């Protein structure tokens, strides 16, 4: 059973990928030409992304924003490189785990910069942890075809939506509580959405 994309509300990554794929292909080809591997680009993207959390804590909001989105771009490039060469299971582990660390770095940076709001940051981290746990568990047990190395279960919030919400949290710090609660609500919707579709896929 294939995931019905019409039932998904946003999913920018899934729906808009074809518009940026030509640029990703060029970047991937350039990286491969100079001898980089997909895993090396994954590590570079992680180092760029995790430094964004430090920039957030120090109050360099626009620098943090640039670093965050550049790391996201490299994350897309490494996936394209893997598909052009030979993707590895270890590369998938690096990719998925580093993605979560970059997101956590932003949230931790904000939490320590604004300790009065650390409680809502903690709730957000818990919601992300739960949503990702569903995602990874379904990916491990689902018998579905995917261009990725495991079944990729879309939802209302993929990585681009997460980056947009993190960006709003970084820039509009006067409304940090509102945007954090918004992110929390989106994550909870995504969790329920993934549970619903997991039941459809797995209970056959």
- Render pLDDT for 171-186 as a digit per residue (tens, 0 to 9): 999 999 999 999 999 9
Say if 2 falls within a structural domain: no
pLDDT, tens digit, 9 for 90 and up, residues 155-170: 777 788 899 999 999 9
Q: How confident is the model at residue 202 (pLDDT cuts 50, 70, 90)?
A: confident
Residue 113 has pLDDT above 90, yes or no: yes
Q: What is the CATH number of the domain that holds 85?
A: 1.20.120.1760
Say if 160 falls within a structural domain: yes
- Give me the number of domains the chain comprises: 1
pLDDT, tens digit, 9 for 90 and up, residues 3-20: 343 333 445 665 666 777
Say if 130 falls within a structural domain: yes
Domain that holds residue 51: 9-202
Say if 170 falls within a structural domain: yes
Burial letters for 76-100: b for 16+ Cβ neighbours within 10 Å, e otherwise?
bbbbbbbeeeebeeebbebbbebbe
- pLDDT for 6 equals 37
pTM: 0.84
The Cα 163–Cα 154 span in angstroms is 16
Say if 4 falls within a structural domain: no
Render 68-117 in DSSP notation, one character per residue: HHHHHHHHHHHHHHHHHS---HHHHHHHHHHHHHHHHHHHHHHHHHSGGG
Residue 145 has pLDDT above 70, yes or no: no
Is residue 136 within 8 Å of residue 155, measured between CB atoms?
no
Closest among 196, 200, 195 to 144, alpha carbons compared: 200
Say if 185 falls within a structural domain: yes
């Amino acid at each position: 059973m294939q995931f019905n994309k019409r039932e998904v509300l946003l999913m920018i990554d899934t729906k808009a990928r074809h518009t940026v794929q030509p640029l990703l292909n060029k970047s991937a080809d350039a990286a491969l030409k100079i001898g980089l591997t997909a895993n090396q680009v994954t590590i570079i993207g992680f180092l760029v992304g995790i430094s964004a959390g430090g920039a957030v804590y120090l109050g360099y909001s626009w620098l943090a924003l640039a670093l965050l989105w550049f790391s996201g771009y490299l994350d897309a490039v490494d996936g394209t490189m893997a598909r052009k060469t030979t993707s590895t299971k270890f590369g998938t582990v690096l990719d998925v785990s580093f993605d979560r660390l970059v997101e956590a770095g932003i949230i931790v940076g904000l939490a320590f910069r604004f300790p009065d709001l650390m409680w809502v940051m903690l709730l957000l981290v818990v919601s992300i942890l739960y949503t990702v746990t569903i995602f990874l568990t379904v990916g491990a047990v689902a018998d579905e075809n995917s261009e990725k190395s495991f079944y990729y279960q879309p939802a209302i919030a993929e990585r681009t939506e997460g980056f947009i919400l993190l960006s709003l949290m970084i820039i509009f710090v006067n409304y940090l509580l509102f945007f954090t609660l918004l992110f929390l609500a989106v994550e909870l919707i995504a969790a329920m959405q993934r549970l619903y579709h997991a039941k459809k896929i797995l209970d056959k």
